[in-house]
Amino acid sequence: MLAAFMVSLDSGRRVTGWGFVIFVGSSICWFAGAWLTKDFALGTQNTVLFGINLLGVYRYLIRKTGV
């Protein structure tokens, strides 16, 4: 919920980027839980979300603005 709040605030690239970092951590935890319980649908979903969240980290924390 904290990550969603940070992203929704639109308080600048840095805050939004750190929100995506939290989302990446959450995706990893959910994937691990899915793997341990053999819930392949949940694992697939969080693999995709992990990729989307990595894109958010790249876009808001790594990529230079104006590119």
- Asked whether residue 67 is assigned to any structural domain, the reply reads no
Residue 26 is assigned to a structural domain of this protein: yes
Is the predicted pLDDT of residue 10 greater than 90, yes or no? no
User: What token pair was written down for 20?
Assistant: 């995506």
Asked if residue 47 belongs to a domain, the reply is: yes
What pLDDT is attached to residue 67? 59
- Examine residue 23 and state whether it is found in any structural domain, yes or no: yes
In a domain, 41, yes or no: yes
CA distance 56 to 35: 24
Torsion of CA 50, 44, 27, 13, to 10 degrees: 30
Q: What tens digit of pLDDT does each residue of 13-54 get? A: 999 999 999 999 999 999 999 999 999 999 999 999 999 999
pLDDT of residue 1: 95
Q: What is the predicted pLDDT for the residue at 33?
A: 98
Rounded Cα–Cα distance for residues 15 and 36 (Å): 32
Residue 64 has a pLDDT of: 85
In this structure, is residue 15 part of a structural domain?
A: yes
Burial class (CB in 10 A: 0-12, 13-18, 19+), 67: exposed
Contact 55, 21 (CB under 8 A): no
Q: Which domain holds residue 17?
A: 2-62
